[in-house]
Amino acid sequence: SQQGEEDPQALSIQEGENATMNCSYKTSINNLQWYRQNSGRGLVHLILIRSNEREKHSGRLRVTLDTSKKSSSLLITASRAADTASYFCATEGYGGATNKLIFGTGTLLAVQP
Amino acid sequence: DTAVSQTPKYLVTQMGNDKSIKCEQNLGHDTMYWYKQDSKKFLKIMFSYNNKELIINETVPNRFSPKSPDKAHLNLHINSLELGDSAVYFCASSVTNGRVTQYFGPGTRLTVL
């Protein structure tokens, strides 16, 4: 299967703590994206990191990318109860159909108030 | 002011029936997608259309037929529904020039009895 793997599958933390989620993928990529899905809702784009970038920040989000290990991590600092959601990484590969995203298996994050 | 909308939100039907799900985007995007999310939250692309032309067609049974009357609409028709078709179906849209993010609709939860 082309699907990426994420770990942990589920993560429970206290408000104010940091949350780290990891994503591994299988093929060469053009970019990697992270999405959030609140329960019963559609996915919302969080951040995109290009294959030639190693780290990117957006507010309380920090994403790293290691193309040699085919892995990425998403760090959410100072978590809030509103961060409770599922988080998915998605990769866009080279060649083939443009804009085709392969999604990871997701991490369910629960932030306890 | 909804960006990507889908109807219906919930769809409950009997095996063997034919049903349609509609999607509309008002973002001016020229590419639209259909994804299927199963009970384990695995999200997989089914189809992609660019300016009404089919560009991605994953290994989907031919009971599924997308139709794009114009670039703002992408409907999904499903014939002879089976139990395994039960899932949440998401529509998404984007521009078409690589490294782009996709905007997702709220999803349609299809239950086949």
The answer to whether the Cα torsion of A52, A58, A61, A62 is positive or negative is: positive
Residues of A in contact with B105 (CB under 8 A): 42
* Cβ–Cβ gap B106/A42 under 8 Å: yes
Smallest CA–CA distance from B95 into chain A, residue? A99
Note the pLDDT tens digit of each residue in A34-90: 999 999 899 999 999 999 999 999 999 999 999 999 999 999 999 999 999 999 999
Residues B95-109: what's their mean pLDDT? 85
Other CB atoms within 10 Å distance of the CB of residue B73: 16
8 Å CB contact between A73 and A64: yes
pLDDT the model gives residue A24:
95
pLDDT the model gives residue B101:
87
* Cβ–Cβ gap B101/A45 under 8 Å: yes
Q: Which of B11-15, B36-40, B77-81 has the lowest mean pLDDT?
A: B36-40
Average pLDDT, chain B: 91
Q: What's the fold here for domain A5-112?
A: Immunoglobulin-like (2.60.40)
Whole-Å CA distances, B19 to A81, B106, B112? 38, 18, 11
Note the pLDDT tens digit of each residue in A4-24: 788 899 999 999 999 999 999
Distance between CA atoms of residues A112 and A44, nearest Å = 22
Domains along the sequence of chain B with CATH: 4-112 (2.60.40.10)
Residue A97 above 80 pLDDT? no
Distance between CA atoms of residues A24 and A65, nearest Å = 10
Q: Which residues contact B61 (CB under 8 A, 6 or more apart)?
A: none
- Would you mind telling me the total number of residues written for chain B in this entry? 113
What is the phi/psi pair of residue A89, to 5°? -95, 155
Task: Report the number of secondary-structure helices (H) and strands (E) in chain B.
Answer: 0, 11
Q: Where are the domains of chain A?
A: 5-112
Q: Could you tell me the two tokens for B98? A: 């690589």
Other CB atoms within 10 Å distance of the CB of residue B67: 14
Tell whether B63 lies on the interface with A, counting CB pairs under 8 A. Answer: no
* Cβ–Cβ gap B106/A41 under 8 Å: yes
Residue B48 above 60 pLDDT? yes
Classify residue B22 by its DSSP letter.
E
